[in-house]
Amino acid sequence: MQTNIEGKVALVTGSNRGIGRALVEALLERGATKVYATARNKDSLQELVENYGDRIVPLTLDVTKAEEVNATAQTAGDVQVVISNAGFAENIDIFIEDLSVARQEMEVNYWGTLNVARAFVPVLESNGGGAIINISSIAGLVNFPMFPTYSDSKAAVHSLTQGIRLIKGGSVQVVGVYPGPVDTDMAADLEMDKATPQSVAVSILNAVEAGKDEVFPDPVAEGFSGPYEAGTKTLEKQTAEMLAASS
């Protein structure tokens, strides 16, 4: 399944900066007719509105609040492409520091993504299909010790994405995205080569239009794609054999 962006209506969570903002701009440049740009503070979306006019619909949204997500799904009932990008990360020592940060990471990264999927997949289906794109991370495939609980939350996003694809993949394109280090505020303290948010956004949309299920959108991430795809094929084969044996 693949989704062409031109002529589509899209929604992006966490649109005010980084990959989210780059995705909004890339969607519009690729021909999306309208983008619902969401953030916890709608004022932070003003520059996007000034740049793109009424092609941007700014909305206040905290993805951890299911009632807000459900209300947004009612407002954006014409949406055909949904990108769950809102994220949160902190560098913590799980054996020393307060774990309230870890709970917030899980609330935003996992529960927020789940809230969006539960609210918007039925909308996509009612509109004849479309795509839901979840931004995970290579840290969701291999735990990064400087961001241990963030890695945990992104591993949960990875598993959630697989589950949604198994349940809804026949009617909606379900895409998992696994970036490496990207030059955003979240990665400001990382001393390493980073991809630009703009290049990552372009790679994501290229993959969506090509019908890919998983996206490794930068040079560091690409190093994970081969082993991941090989392991996935083995698991898929084993799962099919188990299902055949139990039927």
Q: Name the token pair of 69.
A: 């997500």
Containing 10, the helix (H) or strand (E) segment is strand 9-12
How far apart (Å, rounded) are the C-alpha atoms in residues 42 and 58?
A: 6
Sheet containing 173-177: give its strands across: 56-60, 34-39, 9-12, 81-84, 131-135, 173-177, 214-215
Instruction: Name the catalytic one among 36, 110, 150, 228.
Output: 150
Contacts with 6 (C-beta within 8 Å, 6 or more apart), sequence order: 30, 31, 32
Q: How far is residue 131 from each of residues 9, 122, 156, 192, measured CA to CA in Å?
A: 11, 11, 20, 32
How far apart (Å, rounded) are the C-alpha atoms in residues 200 and 181?
A: 10
* ∠ Cα 211 74 208 (to 5°): 10
Please confirm, yes or no, whether 150 is among the known catalytic residues. yes
* ∠ Cα 91 67 47 (to 5°): 65
- CB of 40 closer than 8 Å to CB of 69: no
Which positions are catalytic?
Answer: 150
